Structure 1
Amino acid sequence: MAASDASPAPEGAIDPAHKARMRELASTYGRGLPGSDAQALASGLGARLVYMDLGERDGAYDPEHDVILINNKASPERQRFTLAHEISHALLLSDDDLLSAVHDSFEGERLEEVIETLCNVGASALLLPSELLDDVLRRYGPTGRALYELARRADVSASVAIYGLAEVTPGSVIYAVCSRPRGKPTEEGASSRQRGSRRPVVVRASSGSPQARYPLRPGTPVPDDHLVVTVLDTELEAAGRSYVPFRSGRKLPAWVDAYPDKRARRVLVSFRTEE
């Protein structure tokens, strides 16, 4: 039984051809489906969907009994991505050439990491068809608004949208979701010192295009004077020259485009770096 927490695994030196093949498998599978709801997504395998409490696991695929297990405690968005991820496990198992190539190249824990990453690639291709990605990039460019629209139209989480959009974005671009940890809001009329005690804005999720040279790690704090913080506080879309913040304190020059997701109290951001 293939089990997964459906979380992105380190990519390392995965052959780009293997990722391309995984995307092809998922895209071909998706084009043959009757719809995009859960039952339709699983119908191509003829697998039975079972929702149950899986504890810390998000899902699992049992090829022997043609069953896909989904954690019924997870959010609908998480369940949807997990389903696509587990379908990708089935597609990988069905491709002897790709499966053999991966097993020949890796072993042990690294093999499991690579398989999980390839299944994330497949899940992204299944939930974010190339036609949708191309349309979003054509309409909005590599921007925070593009992330918002992609997540909305595909009914996926922002982290899934980030991963899929980064894969097809030309140039050096880093996408991120930033927010302030939930806590007691600052009272109106509080002193500047009290306002300064607000919890800092941090990077929640991020992914870079193939040309991006530097990763932006989740948990990285965003300085209070950054454009991202201004957009979060004002809930007004903005763009301008700024920088990518790093834990080390380094500031990489970038064109920053930030879009407020008011309902989720977060900011979706693109950093187009200048090196």
Structure 2
Amino acid sequence: MRVIAAEYAQSLAGLDTHSLMDGLDGVKLTFMAMGDRDGAYDPEHRVILINSQTRPDRQRFTLAHEIGHALLLGDDDLLSDLHDSFEGSRLEEVIETLCNVAAAAILMPEALTTELLTRFGPGGRALAELIRRADVSASSAIYTLAERTNVPVIYAVCALSRVEDDPADGAGDSRSAGKAPTDRVLTVRVSSAAPSVKYSLRPGTPIPDDHPVAVALATGIPSTEDSYIPFRSGRRMPAHVDVFPEPYRVLVSFALPTRPSKGEV
């Protein structure tokens, strides 16, 4: 699916909304109110429907996702393999996952992520540039960048949230203890780890006030320094922290120390 989508993207003159449709002969694009649905592809009438009431970046990813549906239905071999391997709700889940893969491949080609990782390294700035240049949401960008990062890194987007909205376990977290329900604390909104990392940073994890991530949000100044990953359990794992602040949020990467190879000290 990734190969099919990447080849489709390479055939386009551009990746703006209307150029994305150029490779689908006879398929029309329609924006309309769709309630809770983001979009749909109607193969019978050859039309892609996009919810006109969602955010522009969400509309863009949904369009690429629905193009994925069209590409999948146009590949008899892949479609046959899927029906041979899955059925029922599981088949539907796999198809939706593959169309998300297609959307990422169309909007965030490997050449772009390779360029950004080479230029900026696996840090917050690379994530910010991917969001901007691909015109996608932070969630879409963070998963794709993490998947294509070949060093042990955890990416995260952090922002202020109310204490009462923070999904703390049990009786709460000591780092937000004593704060009123109307107070706002800096927490992890979304995170994703490179394939070589076995740890995860859960959404809702509080960021201590003296952590480089919190300092960057307060000052608006990017930073890169040795610090730690503030896991929800209270464990602090040493990591090199690369922070890129934006208004109201912080894009960050936590690079884990690599084990020395045999013979190294």
**TM-score scaled to structure 1, two decimals?**
0.81
Q: Name the CA distance, whole Å, in 1 between partners of 2:132 and 2:21.
A: 22
Match of 1:253 among 210, 227, 238: 238
- CA deviation string 1:201-254 (max 9, x = no partner): 111122221212122222222222322111111111111222223333333322
User: Does 2:165 match 1:180?
Assistant: no
Partner of 1:77: 57
Match of 1:199 among 184, 206, 231: 184
- Structure 1 unaligned segments of length 5 or more: list them: 1-21, 184-192
CA pair 194-218 structure 1, distance change in 2 beyond 3 A: closer
Aligned with 1:200: secondary structure? strand
Q: Which runs of 4+ in 1 moved over 6 A?
A: none
User: Residue type matched to 1:30 in 2?
Assistant: A
Match of 1:32 among 11, 17, 25: 11
Q: How many residues align?
A: 243
User: Does 2:254 match 1:274?
Assistant: no
* Contact 1:239/1:258 (<8 A) preserved: yes
Partner of 2:262: none
CA pair 41-106 structure 1, distance change in 2 beyond 3 A: same
Q: Name the CA distance, whole Å, in 2 between partners of 1:212 and 1:45.
A: 38
Q: Name the CA distance, whole Å, in 2 between partners of 1:52 and 1:232.
A: 37
1:203-222 pair list within 5 angstroms? 203-222=188-207
Q: Name the CA distance, whole Å, in 2 between partners of 1:111 and 1:144.
A: 36
CA pair 81-233 structure 1, distance change in 2 beyond 3 A: same
What is the deviation of 1:166?
1.3
* Contact 2:242/2:252 (<8 A) preserved: yes
Q: Name the CA distance, whole Å, in 2 between partners of 1:96 and 1:248.
A: 48
Deviates most, 122-131 or 241-250: 241-250
**TM-score scaled to structure 2, two decimals?**
0.84
Q: Name the CA distance, whole Å, in 1 between partners of 2:36 and 2:68.
A: 20
* Contact 1:203/1:219 (<8 A) preserved: yes
User: Residue type matched to 1:43 in 2?
Assistant: D
Partner of 1:14: none
Alignment RMSD (CA, Å)? 2.3
Partner of 1:226: 211
Greater Rg over alpha carbons, structure: 2
What is the deviation of 1:91?
1.6
